[in-house]
Amino acid sequence: MELREDTRYTYAVARIRALETRSLNLEKIQRIVDAGDASTAWRETAGWHLLPKGELSPENTQTDLEKFLIEEIRCTNNLFSSLSNDPELTNLFFLKYDFHNLKILLKISPESLDGMVNLGLVPIEKLKESVIERNFRELPKLLQESIREILELVKIDTNLLYGRLDMVDIILDKKMFDLIFRTLKRHPAPSCSFLNMLFQTEVDICNLNICRRFKRLRRNRDFLNEALLPGGKLALKFLLEKYENNEYAPLNEFINFQIATFKLQLNNLYESTIYTAFGLEPLVAFLKKREKDAKMIRMIILAKLQGLAPKAIWGEINTINE
Amino acid sequence: MIMAVNPTRMELLRLRKRLMLARRGHKLLRDKQDELLRHFLSLIKRWKDAREGVENGLVQGFGLFLRAFLVIPGYVLYESCIRPGVETVLSCSSRQITSVRLPQFSIEVKGDPIAYGFVNTTFSLDKAILSYLNLFQDLIKLAELEKAVILLAEEIKKTRRRVNALEYVLIPNLEETIKYIFMKLEEFERGNLVRLMKVKEIVRAH
């Protein structure tokens, strides 16, 4: 892989290198897991936070935790956006929140804001208004066309609201990755090849997991064809053939091997950012690490709240790391 | 306890009829109680098995859901579970055991329970949802059995009260009253006889 140095990122990378030391390492995770209870575990996360760390109230520990972690992710996203010189590329990492909000708006009532998360490119109120009024002129250009297409698709498929709700999610997920790859294709930034590899690997891992889940759920090939995401390195036709011609055990073996390979590639990709002196790559690696850390903190503290033993918590941590 | 009745032959006949009826009723009610108890015991066994199944299923379902809950972000989990993909139709009928109408529930599930995307969710969520769906059907069965057990228990209680009332109150009272009337009638007869003998003596003396 060719990694060119992008000198626009001199300050950004230096800043990120300073902040990277706050990330969770094995020792810190061990301390959080070994903490006696949820509030002690939360106290052990000191140093990871970019914002002043609040205290978890004993009555609403879970709500407080979710709120604090979302605020941390928001702060990380803002930092990521402010340090980036390619807003069109950085926006790709926030699209998932907009698409999540869109799913809520399409699946439930557009009147409600429950379950929506204000981390996307478009504020939830604005997105809600746009969907209700079918007016997307005020939305970012990146989203305008996609949302219009999605609404057309959802409108055409009358089955969607009657038992095929998963299709809303499937259409939106596919559209999101389609939008990401289209943007990367036309963008001239040197980091595009890195991002392309990153998203491609993510799509491949996701597609392999979908194949395995479909086999376990005994879904048919046509539905799998609809659910697989576009843009991965593994050809969809190849995956479909594998799915059709194999029983669960050999398919699972193949998927395990492929996922291990792709995860190794992903790790190598993140590790390569250590050697990138200037560019968007270290910022992306930092963002992804922060997201993973937040997920891990949430998991450990919720597991503590549920009374899980440290050994069981380590088992769950391994599933995240796998 | 002797009932407040006139000690007449008519009353005696009426009470004897009542006693016969009460004995027949008592036997029938005893039979009914035995039959109800037989059904109740078999239902209790089925209810116990169903209850155990539901409790184990709940533990398993919560365990699976906990795994999904720990790994999947809260907002994604909310979005995935907010609208169910299945429509359930519950139909209710009844069956009769002796005189008790017991409910019978049947449930029809339409649609796909996995009604969410596959990108941000995990297989543990699929397993939890499928386990809850199976559990839902078991819960309905358990509700049916529990209601049947309650109704049968109430009926058994009612029947036992009637049997006891007949056995320990009405039948002894009737027997005692009959005995009382019988004795009273015999006494009247003896009185009459003595009076007749006395009259005969007086007539003979004159």
Mean pLDDT along residues B58-84: 90
Higher pLDDT, B61 or A164: B61
Cα B21 vs. chain centroid, distance in angstroms? 25
Encode pLDDT of B161-184 as tens digits.
999 999 999 999 999 999 999 999
Among the listed ranges A116-120, A155-159, B87-91, which one has the minimum average pLDDT value?
A: A155-159
Q: What percent of chain A has pLDDT over 70?
A: 93
pLDDT of residue A4 exceeding 90, the answer is no
Among the listed ranges A99-108, A150-159, A210-219, B45-54, which one has the minimum average pLDDT value?
A: A150-159
Mean pLDDT along residues A286-314: 92
Encode pLDDT of B145-160 as tens digits.
999 999 999 999 999 9
pLDDT band at A5 (very low <50, low <70, confident <90, very high): low
> Are A70 and A117 a contacting pair, CB within 8 Å?
yes
Partners of residue A299 in chain B, C-beta under 8 Å: 70-71
Interface of A with B (CB under 8 A): 66, 96, 100, 103-104, 107-108, 114-117, 163-166, 169-170, 172-173, 206, 209-210, 212-213, 216-217, 227, 229, 295, 298-299, 302-303, 306, 316, 319-320
CA–CA gap between residue B109 and residue B86 (Å, rounded): 6
- Mean pLDDT, chain A, rounded, equals 86
Looking at residue A1, its pLDDT comes to 46
CA–CA gap between residue A184 and residue A52 (Å, rounded): 35
Q: What percent of chain A has pLDDT over 90?
A: 38
Looking at residue B20, its pLDDT comes to 96
Partners of residue B74 in chain A, C-beta under 8 Å: 66, 298
What chain B residue is nearest to A107 in terms of C-alpha separation? Answer: B83
Interchain pair B119, A114: CB under 8 A? no
B116 touches chain A (CB under 8 A): yes
pLDDT of residue A158 exceeding 60, the answer is no
Encode pLDDT of A219-271 as tens digits.
889 999 989 999 999 999 999 999 988 888 999 999 999 999 999 999 999 99
Q: How far is CA A260 from CA A254, A278, B93, in A?
A: 10, 29, 54
ipTM of the complex: 0.87
Looking at residue A80, its pLDDT comes to 92
Domains of chain B are 9-197 (1.10.287.3240)
3-state SS track over A222-277:
HHHHHHCCCCCCCCHHHHHHHHHHCCHHHHHHHHHHHHHHHHHHHHHHHHHHHHCC
In this complex, the residue of A117, A217, A302 whose CB is nearest that of residue B70 is A302
Q: Radius of gyration of chain B from Cα atoms?
A: 34
Burial class (CB in 10 A: 0-12, 13-18, 19+), A99: buried
**Crossing angle, helix A281-305 and helix A26-34, to 10 degrees?**
20
pLDDT band at A63 (very low <50, low <70, confident <90, very high): confident
Cα B187 vs. chain centroid, distance in angstroms? 48
What are A97's two structure tokens? 């929140």
B73 touches chain A (CB under 8 A): yes
Looking at residue B181, its pLDDT comes to 94
With the CA atoms of A155, A157, A163 and A165 taken in that order, what torsion angle do they form, in degrees rounded to the nearest 10? -60
Interchain pair B111, A306: CB under 8 A? no
Interchain pair A213, B118: CB under 8 A? yes
Q: How many CB atoms lie within 10 A of CB A267?
A: 11
pLDDT of residue B15 exceeding 70, the answer is yes
Encode pLDDT of B88-135 as tens digits.
899 999 998 888 899 999 999 888 888 888 998 999 999 999 999 999
Name the range with the highest mean pLDDT among A88-92, A185-189, B2-6: A88-92
Interchain pair B78, A229: CB under 8 A? no
pLDDT of residue B29 exceeding 50, the answer is yes
Length of chain A: 322
Higher pLDDT, B198 or A4: B198
What are A261's two structure tokens? 């390979």
**Closest chain A C-alpha to B86 CA, distance in angstroms:** 6
Partners of residue B129 in chain A, C-beta under 8 Å: none
Among the listed ranges A25-39, A77-91, A155-169, A185-199, which one has the minimum average pLDDT value?
A: A155-169
Q: How far is CA A44 from CA A169, A293, A296, A299, B53, in A?
A: 37, 13, 13, 14, 41
H or E segment at B88?
strand B86-97
**Which residue is associated with the tokens 């699946």?**
A107
Interchain pair B70, A165: CB under 8 A? no
76-105 in B: which are within 8 Å (CB) of A? 76, 78-80, 82-83, 85-87
pLDDT of residue A164 exceeding 80, the answer is no
The greatest distance separating any two alpha carbons of chain A, rounded to the nearest whole angstrom, comes to 55
What chain A residue is nearest to B88 in terms of C-alpha separation? Answer: A163
> Strands B86-97, B100-111: parallel, antiparallel or unpaired by DSSP?
antiparallel
List for chain B the helix, strand, coil content (%; round to 5): 75, 10, 15
pLDDT band at B200 (very low <50, low <70, confident <90, very high): very high
DSSP string, B106-174: EEEEEE-S--S-SSS--HHHHHHHHHHHHHHHHHHHHHHHHHHHHHHHHHHHHHHHHHHIIIIIIHHHH
What chain A residue is nearest to B64 in terms of C-alpha separation? Answer: A316
Length of chain B: 206
CA–CA gap between residue A248 and residue A269 (Å, rounded): 30
CA–CA gap between residue B118 and residue A175 (Å, rounded): 14
Interchain pair B83, A108: CB under 8 A? yes
| φ, ψ for residue A308, nearest 5 deg | -75, 145
pLDDT of residue A195 exceeding 50, the answer is yes
Looking at residue A156, its pLDDT comes to 55
Residue A269: CB partners within 8 Å, gap ≥ 6?
A: A1, A194, A197, A198, A201
Looking at residue A203, its pLDDT comes to 95
Q: Radius of gyration of chain A from Cα atoms?
A: 21
CA–CA gap between residue B81 and residue B85 (Å, rounded): 9
H or E segment at A185?
helix A165-186
**Closest chain B C-alpha to A260 CA, distance in angstroms:** 17
